Structure 1
Amino acid sequence: MTRKPQMKLAILTSHPIQYYAPFFQLLAKIITLKVFYTRGTTALYDRNFLCQINWDIPLLEGYDYTFLTNTAKYPGTHHFWGIINPDAIRQIEEFNPRYLLIYGWSNLSHFKILKHFKGKVKTIFRGDSILSNKLPLWKRPFKKIFLAWLYTQADTILYAGTNNRAYFKHYGVKDEKLHFLPHSIDNQRFSSTGSGALIRKSLGLKETDLLVLFAGKFNKGKNPILLLKAFKKICKNNHHLLYIGSGPLETLLKKEAKTHPNIHILPFQNQKIMPCFYKAGNLFCLPSLQETWGLSINEAMACGKAVLVSDRCGAATDLVTAANGMTFKSNDLDDLTTKLDQLLQCKEKLEKAGTASAKLISTWNFHEQAKSILKCL
Structure 2
Amino acid sequence: MPSRHPATALRDQPSLEGRPFRIAYFVSHPIQYQAPLLRQIAALPGVALKVFFFSDISVRSYIDKGFGVAVKWDVPLLDGYDSEFLPTIRNRGQLAFADPICTGIYEKLETGNFDAVWLHGYHTLNHLHVLWAAKRLNIPLLMRAEPTLIDRPRTRTKKFAKSYFFRLLRHAITAVMPISELNKEYWNTYLGTEIPQFPMPYAVDNQFFQGKSLQAEATVDQLREELDLTPGRPVILYCSKLQTRKRCIDLVNAYLLLCSDLKLPAKPYLLIVGDGEERGQVEARIQESKDLDIRMLGFRNQSELPRYFSLSDVFVLPSVSEPFGLIVNEVMNAARAVIVTEEVGCQKDLVRDRWNGMVVPAQNIAALANALQYVLEDPERCKEMGRRSLERIREFSFDQDIEGLLAAITHIQQTRKIA
Cα distance between partner residues in 1 of 2:198 and 2:340:
26
Pick closer, same or farther for the CA change 1:175–1:294 going to 2, 3 Å.
Answer: farther
> Does 2:27 correspond to 1:27?
no
Structure with higher helix content: 2
Q: Which amino acid aligns with 1:261?
A: L
| Range that drifts further, 85-94 or 207-216 | 85-94
CA distances 1:69-125 after superposition (whole Å, capped 9, x unpaired): 232354422x31123111222123332211110000111011111122126211100
Pick closer, same or farther for the CA change 1:68–1:364 going to 2, 3 Å.
Answer: same
Secondary structure of the residue aligned to 2:98 is helix
Percent identity reads: 27
Cα distance between partner residues in 1 of 2:63 and 2:98:
17
Secondary structure of the residue aligned to 1:217 is coil
CA distances 1:250-297 after superposition (whole Å, capped 9, x unpaired): 122223334211101111111111111111110000000011100011
1:325 equivalent in structure 2:
357
2:216 equivalent in structure 1:
195
Q: Which amino acid aligns with 2:165?
A: F
> Does 2:322 correspond to 1:291?
yes
Task: Give yes or no for contact 2:109–2:133 (8 Å, CA) kept in 1.
Answer: no
Secondary structure of the residue aligned to 2:246 is coil
Report how many aligned residue pairs link the two structures.
Answer: 376
Structure with higher strand content: 1
Secondary structure of the residue aligned to 1:59 is coil
- The one of 44, 47, 50 equivalent to 2:68 is 50
1:219 equivalent in structure 2:
243
Cα distance between partner residues in 2 of 1:323 and 1:374:
32
Cα distance between partner residues in 2 of 1:162 and 1:94:
37
Aligned pairs for 1:230-241 within 5 A: 230-235=254-259, 236=262, 237-241=266-270
Cα distance between partner residues in 2 of 1:257 and 1:139:
38
Pick closer, same or farther for the CA change 1:182–1:175 going to 2, 3 Å.
Answer: farther
Q: Which amino acid aligns with 2:347?
A: A
- The one of 82, 89, 103 equivalent to 1:64 is 82
- The one of 229, 232, 245 equivalent to 1:205 is 229
CA distances 1:127-165 after superposition (whole Å, capped 9, x unpaired): 121003612223321221212322331101010111110
1:168 equivalent in structure 2:
187
> Does 2:186 correspond to 1:159?
no
2:4 equivalent in structure 1:
none
Secondary structure of the residue aligned to 2:321 is coil
- Structure 2: state its 5+ residue gaps: 1-6, 410-419
Cα distance between partner residues in 2 of 1:315 and 1:32:
30
Cα distance between partner residues in 2 of 1:165 and 1:65:
29
- The one of 109, 112, 120 equivalent to 1:95 is 112
Secondary structure of the residue aligned to 1:80 is coil
| Range that drifts further, 356-365 or 270-279 | 270-279
> Does 2:128 correspond to 1:111?
yes
Q: How far did 1:176 drift? A: 5.0
Pick closer, same or farther for the CA change 1:254–1:116 going to 2, 3 Å.
Answer: same
1:375 equivalent in structure 2:
407
2:278 equivalent in structure 1:
249
CA distances 1:189-220 after superposition (whole Å, capped 9, x unpaired): 11111225122222223342111111111111
2:144 equivalent in structure 1:
126
1:339 equivalent in structure 2:
371
Aligned pairs for 1:295-306 within 5 A: 295-306=326-337
Q: Higher Cα Rg: structure 1 or 2?
A: 2
Cα distance between partner residues in 1 of 2:231 and 2:384:
17
Cα distance between partner residues in 1 of 2:331 and 2:94:
29
Q: How far did 1:241 drift? A: 0.4
| Range that drifts further, 66-75 or 207-216 | 66-75
Q: How far did 1:51 drift? A: 1.9
Cα distance between partner residues in 2 of 1:62 and 1:325:
36
Task: Give yes or no for contact 2:30–2:56 (8 Å, CA) kept in 1.
Answer: no
Q: Which amino acid aligns with 1:293?
A: F
Q: How far did 1:24 drift? A: 0.4
Cα distance between partner residues in 1 of 2:127 and 2:78:
21
Task: Give yes or no for contact 1:40–1:69 (8 Å, CA) kept in 2.
Answer: no
Q: Which amino acid aligns with 2:28?
A: S
